[in-house]
Amino acid sequence: MEILDYDLVILGSGIAGLTAAIHASKILGDDRKIAVISKLHLMRSHSISAEGGISGVLYPDKSRDSFDLHGYDTAKGSDYLADQQAIETLVKNAPNEIRFLEHLGVPWSRDEDDDIVLRAFGGMSVKRTAFAADKTGFFIMRALYDTILGIKSIDRFHEHFATALHIGKNRFIGLSAIDLATSTAKLFRAPACIIATGGHSRMYNFTTTSHSATGDGTALAYRSGLPLKDMEFVQFHPTALVPSGILITEAARGEGGYLINSKGSRFMKNYAKSVMELAPRDIISRAIMTEIDRGRGVAQEGTGMKHVYLDLRHLGREKLDERLPMIREISIKSLGLDPVEEMIPVRPATHFTMGGIHTDVNGRIMSQDPKRPTEGLWAAGECGCVSVHGSNRLGSNSLSECAVWGRITGTAAAEFAMANGVEKEAAKKMAEDSEERINAMIDGNGQNDPYLIKEEAQKAMEDHMYVFRSRKGMLEAKKRIAKLKGMYSDIHISDKGKTFNTNLRDTLEIGNLLDLSQVTIECAINRKESRGAHTRTDYKKRDDRRWLKHTIARAENGDIVISYLPVKITKWKPMARKY
């Protein structure tokens, strides 16, 4: 086992992780060292897949926007489950982060006055989403990655898979990882750590997310006894390409696209008449599935997948090439259809996980006591539930969250590291135990194929934990996942090699997904209401009297222990959510 000592460890290399590294380096200076660890090449984070844009109040006079209006939209979009202190932090800091990214070199799309163009997004009262065509995530990632290449204090660990989070006496002391190139076990010791590993949408197969979105950091925190929050809330993006699940950005509707059923009707007039295709994602996803369930969908030839259409033809070639060039390219390459001339087949796919590691408003990860922080440990981005999205995220708020809490956590973790040292011996013993566990998995002679377990687990989630849910269905999903979890304890890793053992990596990811699927189902069964992305057919209404509270879940002696915390309301009182 190789031991490496750092001042700060950052697990994850997306927008949140790289932003945190940049701001931490300003405090730590050249004499201190930061490790950025990713199971991929750092530039291959799922953040590069973000298409539509990043929200912020950039031109309040020109756009008739304000922090309060952005905050109200976010609170309403969250179905009033978001903590409003977090919302206020988001909306007040997002504009500065957009300008900071501009200074790093992000080529925002601009108008004839050289102002950053703002486009419409669902649930937003005014246009407030900045973008770089429909490749916003890629351009942000390129600017951040190019920046860290020039910072001497940052060491980059590509293709290192984290296997254990080490906590002693309520304090972070280290992180174990495998160098995938050589299978070398490594222990990263540091006084401070930021987890920024993204979401866990690969619990499902039909998803807009990359195959790397397996919730690794969230699962590590959970297995360390740390609490997770609001795991029942999984967002389904309304417009994923059929049959691949590739994201068709909300910007396509923001630029004026229509949703059309098999009868040729713009059906959103029956669900959100005032905003039509620019309703929040949970509302549109329910609308599409209702149209399909009532026989107004279209069965795709060959796959049989039922869908509706996204119609962009009226926008014209010039606008598509300027504002949505990648969507046109994806449609042509994937299906051989040109959206200039034909409609795009779409249906809801898993896209984002509102739930994650339980943090306070500053991104500090809370301890086994969900009201007390764990020293030296933060989470930023999709893996951390701060909670700014509540039960439903508004499109383009996610990149703002990554940028805002990337700075907050990077700054706070660096300041903590400056004042604290490394606990060495306890971390070493924990890392040795982790290494033994991984070696036992490789050397074992289990009977079960991990890939078949993954396939069956994803099917259970899609069958019973999709846009609409019921107690009966969720109990069946719970039963199926529990059986698969038992099978996982007797898995067979066929590749015993040391060089890029992707079989081992995949198997570890599957274990993470099984744990998070179990927690998601348990939290969903317990929430007896419909709110945001959690829609139950047996409890059809939102119930503020009983359920205006966050679900907290943690592991204890092999069981999932559920408790609750109140939602923090500051300005925007819960009301009927109509569009």
Residue positions annotated with a catalytic role: 237, 253
Q: What is the tally of helices (H) and strands (E) in the chain?
A: 16, 25
Ranges of H-type helices in 38-182 = 60-63, 67-77, 84-104, 136-149
Residue 429 CB neighbours (<10 A): 11
Q: How far apart are CA 178 and CA 185, in angstroms?
A: 5
Which residues, 6+ apart, have CB-to-CB distance to 532 below 8 Å?
Answer: 78, 79, 81, 233, 282, 354, 390, 391, 392
Closest listed residue to residue 346, CA positions, set 427, 235, 237 = 237
What backbone torsions phi and psi does residue 132 show, to the nearest 5 degrees?
-125, 90
Cα–Cα distance, 264 to 508 (Å, whole number): 46
How many Cα atoms are found within 13 Å in the side-chain-facing hemisphere of 540? 2
Rounded Cα distance between 59 and 260, Å, is: 34
Nearest to 494 by CA among 512, 510, 506, 511: 506
* CA within 13 Å, CB half, 445: 0
CB 53 within 8 A of CB 139: no
Amino acid at 409: T
Contact 471, 534 (CB under 8 A): no
Calpha distance 130→55 (Å, rounded): 6
Q: What is the DSSP string of 101-119?
A: HHHHT----B-TTSPBPEE
Pairing of strands 54-55, 34-37: unpaired
Backbone dihedral angles phi then psi of residue 186, each to the nearest 5 degrees: -130, 140
Query: Within 13 Å and on the Cβ side, how many CA atoms surround 258?
Result: 14
Helix 425-443 with 502-526: angle, nearest 10 deg:
100
Three-class SS state of 78 = coil
